[in-house]
Structure 1
C-alpha cells in the first residue's frame, strides 16, 4: 500500500573539493538545513542530501599543487566538509561522495539503461 505521508527533498550542490568549505558553501548548506527543519515542523518527512563532487579537473590540479595523491587529497578535503557541517549542526540525512562505490555503480547503471534505450548515442552537436 503506497504511503500517504508527505515527503520533501532538500539538496545542496555537491561541492567541489578543490578547496575547503567557505562562507558560500556554508550559507547554502545552512539554508538547506533550515528548510529541512521547517518542513519537518510542517509535518512532512524531509530528506536532506549534501556531499562532494570529487571528479573534476580542478580537484586534480589542486591535489597536484599540494603534492598529494588525488584520492588522499579528496578524502582529506571531503572530511573537512563533514566536520564543518557537524560544527554548524547541519542535520543532513546523507552525505554523498562521487567516489563512493555505491554512487559509481548507480551512475554506471543509469548510463547503461540510457544507452540501452537509445537515449545516449553518438552524434554531432549542432547547437548555438
Structure 2
C-alpha cells in the first residue's frame, strides 16, 4: 500500500490579481507533490482562494462591481495562472463553496457548544490590511 502524502497551500485572497509570491508558493508545492508522486506515493495537493473579507469588499467597491462578481473574475485569474504555470493540484477550495461553508459552520458550532465562542466587546485599532487588531506599539507611522 503506497504511502499517502498531503500538501496544501495558503488560500489566496481574491482582492487583487495573483502576483509572484502566489506563483512561488504554488509552483513550489507542485514540485514537492510531483516529487512524492515520482516516489510512488499517493498524493493530494490542495489549493484555492479566499473569497470574503473587508479587503475583497473594498476592492470590489473601488472597481464599482458587486463583491460576488469581483471575486468571480479574480478567481478566474488565479485558475488561469495555475494552468499557464502547469500547476497540477488535486483539489480546489473556495470559501464560497457550500461544502466549505458546511464544514466551517460545523466547527464553529462545536466551539460555541464548548463555550469557546462568546459575545464580548473589543476595542482598538483594526487593520484591514493585516486583518488584526494592533496595539499602539505595533502601528507604524502610517497608522498600520
TM-score when normalising by structure 1: 0.87
Deviation per CA, 1:38-88, whole angstroms, max 9, x where unpaired?
011112111111111111211110000000100010011011111110111
- The equivalent residue for 1:36 is 33
Query: Aligned-pair RMSD on alpha carbons?
Result: 1.9
Misfit runs of 4+, over 6 Å? none
- Which consecutive unaligned segments of at least 5 residues does structure 2 have? 123-134, 136-144
**Larger helix percent:** 1
Is the counterpart of residue 58 in structure 1 residue 48 in structure 2?
Answer: no
- The equivalent residue for 1:108 is 105
Give the SS at the match of 1:49: strand
2:95 aligns with one of 95, 98, 105: 98
Q: Distance in 2 between matches of 1:34 and 1:85?
A: 13
Q: Does 1 or 2 have the higher relative contact order (CA < 8 Å, sep 6+)?
A: 1
- Which consecutive unaligned segments of at least 5 residues does structure 1 have? none
Aligned residue pairs, count: 123
